[in-house]
Copies of this chain bind each other. A is one copy, B any other.
Amino acid sequence: MPNGGQPTIVSIAARAGVSIASVSRVLNGQGARRDTEERVRRAAAELGYVPNAVARSLKDGRTRQLTFAMPDIGNPVYVAMVRAIQAVTKAAGYRLLLHSTDAVAEDELAVLHSLGDRTSDGLILCPIRITDEHVAALTAAAGPVVVIGSLPDGVPVDSVRADSVAGSALVVAHLHGTGRRRIAFVNGPSDTVPGRNRGHGYRTALAAHGLPYDESLVVHTDFGIESGAAAARRLLPARPDAIFCANDQLALGAAHALLARGVRVPEDIAVAGMDDSTLAQAGWPPLTSVDLGSSARGRRAAELLLDRLEAPDAGAAFAPRTTTAFPRLVVRASTAPATGSPDPSPLTRTP
């Protein structure tokens, strides 16, 4: 047989002695005579019938699959998004297709293009950077797309963004509020949107608190624990009393480098991260961080996409929507005030 031996409505029809249409009707809960209904159900059960989803998809033009494309599933931020998205799509009866772009722009474009192959009904894309080609591809997309990230104006696509400017400001304000005055900043690559925004937020917040912007207190690097450690070592001569890092991995690396040199965290230098990933709570000392809403953004993106899909009239019927997730400061031990509350960190207890 052409099939893998799987039962189809044809086999059921034969076994039940009815037409395939009746089988389809019974199985889809449309009326039928008691007798017919029974025989069809029995035949289906005996054969262990499972409807072929591909055939159904071809018929009604939808797969009930959604695609999520992100740079790297190894990054806790994206894991949080996947998790949130998965929860929403699962509840709505959609399967989730995962695509790792490895932070390669071409790959992102390929995913966008492949939306035309009708493998999935919609796409959530988390691009590392938005190029003109991205804009073009997004505009010409063959199906509904939601972007997690900041899009230039005029791109006719729903998007969900983080407010990392505000997030950075929250951290700086917190550090300032707990007595820190020489607040260093370890940023990620400055040629990405988040990198630029975080830098902007940092500078703005410094100004707002009357602190000078000191070049020697700022380091640009890539993400990753080891980079954070290196950055911290580089910053030490500038004598910061706080190090704010553009993500938790950097912060963790920085904290470890400091501890390894006998610098006390937070007594001598406070350390704060960003993203509030699992690493933040797992670190020692537990890291103060800003939740930029990875989960919330994932959830919202999924909701926007489903909303489009469920919309009565097809495609880009209504105007693109943009949502911004509010940042939330999560204070932990790594930024306890240098003096004040008694013995904030057990690290200082030296028996």
Q: Which of B50, B140, B282, B350 contacts A113 (CB 8 A)?
A: B50
| A79 in contact with B90 given A4-B315, A98-B96, A118-B52 (CB within 8 Å) | no
- Counting chain A residues whose Cβ lies within 8 A of the other chain, the interface size class is 35 or more
Q: Which residue of B lies closest to A4 (CB)?
A: B314
Residue A189 is within 8 A (CB to CB) of chain B in the complex: no
A262 contacts partner chain B, Cβ-Cβ < 8 Å: yes
Do B50 and A58 touch across chains, with their CB atoms under 8 A apart? no
Cβ-neighbour of A100 out of B4, B80, B86, B97 (below 8 A): B86
Contact indicator B142/A6 (Cβ below 8 Å): yes
Residues in B whose Cβ lies below 8 Å from that of A96: 97-99
Given contacts A48-B140, A74-B79, A83-B74, are A284 and B256 in contact (CB under 8 A)? yes
Name which residue of chain B comes closest to A100, CB basis: B86
Indicate with 1 or 0, residue by residue over A55-96, a CB within 8 angstroms of chain B CB atoms: 101100101010000000110100110110011001000011
Q: How far is the CB of A321 from chain B (nearest CB, A)?
A: 21
Residue in B79, B95, B279, B315 whose CB lies within 8 Å of A282: B279
Is A54 at the interface (CB under 8 A from chain B)?
yes
**A50: chain B residues within 8 A (beta carbon):** 113-114, 116-117, 142
Interface string of A272-302 (1 = CB under 8 A from B): 0000001101111110000000000000000
Q: Which of B65, B86, B117 contacts A52 (CB 8 A)?
A: B117
Q: Output the least CB separation between A286 and chain B (Å).
A: 8
- Least distance between A153 CB and chain B CB atoms (Å): 25
**Please, what's the 1-or-0 string for A94-120, where 1 marks a CB less than 8 Å from any CB in chain B?**
011111100000000000011011110
User: Chain B's nearest CB lies how many Å from the CB of A302?
Assistant: 13
Query: Is there an interface contact between A61 and B284, defined as CB atoms closer than 8 Å?
Result: no
Within 8 Å CB of A51, what residues of B?
A: 117
Contact of A119 (CB < 8 Å), options: B53, B90, B259: B53
Listed by A's residue number, 21 A-B pairs whose Cβ atoms lie within 8 Å are A4-B61, A4-B315, A48-B140, A48-B142, A50-B114, A52-B58, A53-B117, A54-B57, A54-B58, A54-B118, A54-B119, A58-B58, A65-B97, A73-B86, A74-B278, A76-B278, A87-B100, A259-B346, A284-B284, A284-B285, A350-B350
